Amino acid sequence: MKRAGVYNGAALLFVFVLALLGQAALAQSAPVSGGTVPPATPERLIAGDFECKTTSYHDGAVPDDLYIHRPNHIPNGWEITYTDKTPVIDSARIYIEGSCDGSAHVERISGEDSVLMQARDIEWTSAPGKPFDASLYQQVDVVSGTTYSLSGWFLTLCGGSNTQPRSDCPDGYYMAKLLGIDPTGGIDPQAATVQWVENRRNFVGPDGVTRIGWQNLRLGVTAQAPSITVFARINSPFQWHGNHSFIDALSLVQAPTATLTATPPLTGSTAITLTWDGSLGPDIPLIPSSTHVLLFDVQYWHDANQRWRDVVSDVGAGSFSFNAACPGSVYRFRVQPRAEQPEGSHGASPNQRYPGVWSAPLDIYVPLLPVAPGESFTPTEQLFLPVIAAQRTC
C-alpha cells in the first residue's frame, strides 16, 4: 500500500484566508433573521461534498514509476491509498475546466463538484483503460462503543461516456463501487477489520443504453476505538477503454438505534410477541430540510433454516405476534433501524439513507404444546407424503 498527501502550504493558507474573508463578508451582508444562530451541522466528515470552491485541494504525491500528465488533486481532509499504480484522482470540475470557475457540466449529485477517479490512458495508447484499485480515506474522532452510519454516492462508467448513455463494457467486466469503515481506526483498506458494502452496477443497464446512474451505498458500524476510518473506493480490475468514475456526497452521522423485546408464549400457545422501537439519534434531526423517518427490519433465526428470515420489513415502531411453527425449539430475533426520507417528501438532497446495526439476538424457547390427559393418537392407516426437497417450515 502506498500513501499520498503532500500539501502546498502557501497556497493552502492563501485559499484558507480568502475563504474566511468570504465568509465574513457573507455574514455582514446577510445577517441571520432575528439574531438566531443557525443550527450546527451534524456532519462529521471534512469536505464530504468535495466542493472545489469551498474546499482546498492539494496535490497528491505521484510515484516515480508512474507518468501522469499532471499531479492528482486530493480534497483537503482526505488521503489516498492504492494498489500497484494510482489512477487519475481529481476534482471533476478542476480536471474538466482547469479551475473551479468554469460552468461546464460535470457529473455530480450534490453541489457543483465531485471526485473523479479515472483509468490511466483512458482512451489512448495501445492499452487504454489501465486497471486500478484506489481509495479516498479519512480518519474521524468518535466515541468508542457508539454506532455511526455512513452514506455516499457513486457513479461508475465502464466502457462508456458521461455524455452519452451508451456502453460497450463486455459481459463479466465491472467497476466495483465500495464504501467501507474500519471501526478500529486503521488506514489499510486490505485489513480484515474493514467492513464493506459493494455495488457493481454500471451507469447503464445490460442493454448498454438504459440509464442506471448514481448509486447510493451505506452501512452502519459500532466504533471500537477513539477514531474510525471511512473509505470511498473504486476497484476497476479489468483493462477496458473509457473506465472512469465519480464519488460525491459522503456523509457520516451518529446512527439510528433500535430496541427489541420478545415475550415468550403463554402456556398452550406458540405465539411470541415482538415489540420494537428506536431513535433517530442526535445528528439526523439536525440535517437541514431533513424529512427522515425511522424504519425497522425484524428477522428471526431457526436452526432448521440456517439463515435469517424476515418477520417484517420497512415498518415503523410497532409489535407483531409471531407464531412459532416448531414448538420444542429455540427461536432467535433481531432488529435493525435505518433512517430514510419517504419518496416525494421533498427533504434534504441527495436522499441519504442511514442504517444502524443489527441488535444483539434474543433467544426465545418455545415449549412443546401440552397433551390433554387421556388423549392419544393411534394411526389406523399408512399415509404416504411426497418429499419436498429443501423445504423448511420452522
What are 146-202's pLDDT values in tens digits? 999 999 999 999 987 655 567 888 899 999 999 999 999 999 999 999 999 999 999
Give the residue with greater pLDDT, 43 vs 149: 149
CA dihedral (126, 128, 132, 135) positive or negative: positive
Q: Of how many residues is the chain composed?
A: 394
Identify the pLDDT of residue 334: 98
244 neighbors 122 (Cβ within 8 angstroms): yes
Identify the pLDDT of residue 210: 82
The residue assigned the cell 461534498 is 49
Q: Looking at the predicted structure, is the pLDDT value of residue 71 above 80? A: no
Distance (Å, whole) CA 97 – CA 66: 24
Q: Which of 37-46, 144-153, 166-175, 258-267 has the lowest mean pLDDT?
A: 37-46
Distance (Å, whole) CA 227 – CA 225: 5
* Mean pLDDT on 332-353: 95
E strands within 223-305?
227-236, 244-254, 257-263, 271-279, 293-301
Q: Looking at the predicted structure, is the pLDDT value of residue 73 above 50? A: yes
* pLDDT tens figures, 268-299: 999 999 999 999 999 999 999 999 999 999 99
Give the residue with greater pLDDT, 369 vs 321: 321
CA dihedral (277, 280, 282, 286) positive or negative: negative
pTM here?
0.82
Give the strand pairing for 73-75 and 354-355: unpaired
In percent, the amount of the chain with pLDDT more than 70 equals: 80
pLDDT bin (cut points 50, 70, 90) of residue 84 is: confident
Helix (H, G, I), strand (E, B) or coil at 238: coil
Identify the pLDDT of residue 225: 98
* pLDDT tens figures, 221-243: 999 999 999 999 999 999 999 99
Identify the pLDDT of residue 3: 40
Q: Looking at the predicted structure, is the pLDDT value of residue 42 above 70? A: yes
Give the dihedral of Cα atoms 325, 275, 280, 223; nearest 10 deg: -60
Distance (Å, whole) CA 133 – CA 180: 14
Q: Which of 99-113, 172-186, 363-377, 380-394 has the lowest mean pLDDT?
A: 380-394
26 neighbors 45 (Cβ within 8 angstroms): no
* Mean pLDDT on 352-361: 98
In percent, the amount of the chain with pLDDT more than 90 equals: 64
Mean pLDDT of the chain: 84
Q: Looking at the predicted structure, is the pLDDT value of residue 387 above 90? A: no
Identify the pLDDT of residue 98: 86
pLDDT bin (cut points 50, 70, 90) of residue 36 is: very low
Identify the pLDDT of residue 384: 52
Q: Which of 135-144, 191-200, 385-394 has the lowest mean pLDDT?
A: 385-394
Identify the pLDDT of residue 189: 96
Give the residue with greater pLDDT, 160 vs 265: 265
Q: Looking at the predicted structure, is the pLDDT value of residue 23 above 50? A: no
Identify the pLDDT of residue 19: 37
